[in-house]
Chains A and B, each alone.
Chain A
């Protein structure tokens, strides 16, 4: 696979450490999170494989284009609009979470609207770019932030304060049956591959996706899940870990860099994770923008000869995001996020069925074309 494909998956996985995923996992720490994680790795990797294989057979095609060819208008227009809303919400969750984080830990005296506005505006600036340019941006920002994130993980694993006994205790709960909320939260990590619905436009060459790639993705996902669940437990203990609102912030704040100019790892973590979170918002909203462009045919809308169509969704994005930032508190955010994740585990298996349907239709169309 092209390296850009892995960026999509990686960003989605790593970005969720900062979002609600660890909090949800830790909340059900005695009710089968470990088994849910194992189950999610198997099913998630399967889903990634299905999605990637499907889009590999149609290089340079996006899902809306394929739907247009194979289904009727009354089905695909509402469906793509629905997808646009889903992707918008996915970005919105990351945005709101990070706004709260910045407000709590970095600049408590700044108005929350101001914080969120700066994230929204910079993400929207990026969303309007062409798909290939979005990928180039992801590559460069990852190149800057990822080594430092890895360094922070290294610091965490090598720290003396990491008590492996707690981790072992947490693993003992492997005999519990998996529960829905933990499973859906873990499952969300794998949905980076679903961005191919739009980003497949970039992958022109035929890609290979064999066992090696599947194993690579499984390894990345297992290590991400392991880190995001067990490291906070190792630092904060097992018993009351579900009370923590931001487990990873507390964890990174227990790390120190004694000899560096920045002593508390927390600030490095926040500022560099801002990059990852920003990329996550950028990817999701870019996909959302592209869906909206397709549904409302925005490229056609012109004013005095200038194509202004793509700017129309911007005010809606800003107003809706600001509304949620203003309305929600952390507790509600976590609850609604959990609902959102739960809905995804219904939607995505159904989407795989849709993909099979499209594949058969496409085969049929090709056969008739050959005749």
Chain B
């Protein structure tokens, strides 16, 4: 296709919008044609790199060579590519029947954000940005190895978003990479806006309770995961990345575990696992013990609990569900509410509801303590997605305990373990203890 036809074709494509700017530059015997979308490109750069030199150069040939020497230069091969690149902020230059593309994209979202979800005391406070290229820049400047590979894909039929697959060529397991590529091929969604959306699309089971990919905004975590042979997925316009395959213990580690001394990080881990158990089991234990087997506790404690429940008109099952329901509402509200109002919501919910509910004897004092203990220990789980799963599992436990009692709770806990063991994350067993040195290479992030 000659350049004239291409020009015509491009004009045809953009006929309906008035976004495409066409500019003809003519001076002495030099003549070029520019196409660009005004809102996508850096106009200052355009002026500095193209327009100014154009009027200064002696001949057209010299200008052409100058263009080819520019770092943003690439040749226009097919019409489709040209159209796509224009949409990505390139300038088309038609010169002597040849088509050049110059990447002069203006992006206002390339500032690196500070971490907001995974905050730590130690280590870097900077996360990723909304811009894909900046993110890759951040990762590359933290991971200096030539084997780091980046593959680009375009996903989302309508909005044509860029997705990058990042991995270390030497460390990655090829079958994992192949499954990810294959599943990405099969994603045929119309609109893709978020990295975490991919989490659902790449997972072949619809009803899965636990996340198989770890969402993170910390570059140090990404680098750590790449070094561990994991594959990273980043979507343009998202300050979060996904790392996969992820096993259960990955969701219980923070990056800070590596920054503390061994004793301190062990203490913090133990604390976290205790928090996990409390948030999972405590409400169900309360139901099981008060309603089924109060004699399990020592007599004094059993009497205290029974005394605290004097006047409460519900069975413990209703009481727990009632309080947990309000706690979940409070949690959900504090995420959605504008920052200015959320403080009020927590005050109203926590203080007023907490004391009023016991004074009205709709719930026992101990119940209020349990609910707040559960809420606090849910926040201890470092990765947000896991905390969501735990909240749902907790409800299952309460229901099962109210039907089957304490033994039911114990068994359902074992069933949960079996469910986790049974899961796969891209070919890796989801829950497995890594003790023997043979398995050590399987995952870098261990208990």
Contacts and interface: CB of A to CB of B under 8 A. Distances in A.
Nearest to A127: B418
Contacts of A267: 293, 295-296
Interface string B404-447: 11111011101101110110000001011101100000000000
Interface in A102-141: 102, 106-107, 110, 114-115, 118-119, 122, 125-126, 129, 132-133, 136-137, 139-141
Contacts of A270: 407
Contact of A125 (B293, B410, B415, B429): B415
Contacts of B414: 122, 126, 137, 141, 275, 278
Interface in B66-109: none
A244 interface: no
B52 to A, nearest CB: 67
A271 B407 contact: yes
B417 A141 contact: yes
Contacts of B299: 263
Contacts of B292: 106-107
A104 to B, nearest CB: 12
Given A129-B421, A263-B299, A118 B433 contact: no
Contacts of A133: 418, 421-422, 429
A136 B419 CA distance: 11
Nearest to A109: B292
A271 B408 CA distance: 10
Given A3-B436, A137-B421, A262-B298, A271 B429 contact: no
A136 B421 CA distance: 7
Contact of A274 (B298, B410, B417): B410
A139 B433 contact: yes
Contact of B432 (A102, A110, A136, A263): A136
B297 interface: yes
A72 to B, nearest CB: 37
Interface string A1-21: 011000000000000000000
B303 to A, nearest CB: 12
A350 interface: no
Contact of A119 (B297, B403, B406, B411): B411
Contact of A129 (B301, B422, B435): B422
Chain B: interface secondary structure?
A: helix
Interface residues on B, range: 20 to 34
Contacts of B421: 129, 133, 136-137, 140
B415 A140 contact: no
A133 B418 CA distance: 8
Contacts of A143: 433
A353 interface: no
A261 interface: yes
A140 B431 contact: yes
Nearest to A275: B414
A230 to B, nearest CB: 28
B405 A129 contact: no
B313 to A, nearest CB: 22
Contacts of A141: 414, 417
Contacts of B405: 106-107, 110
Contacts of A126: 414-415, 418
A274 B429 contact: no
Contacts of A115: 404, 407
Contacts of B403: 114
A2 B438 CA distance: 11
A139 B447 CA distance: 15
- The 7 A-B pairs with the shortest beta carbon distances in the complex, nearest first, are A263-B298, A267-B296, A107-B405, A122-B411, A126-B418, A122-B415, A136-B432
5 contacts: A2-B436, A122-B418, A126-B418, A143-B433, A262-B298
Given A115-B407, A126-B418, A278-B411, 10 more contacts: A118-B404, A118-B408, A129-B421, A132-B429, A133-B418, A136-B429, A136-B432, A140-B417, A262-B297, A267-B295
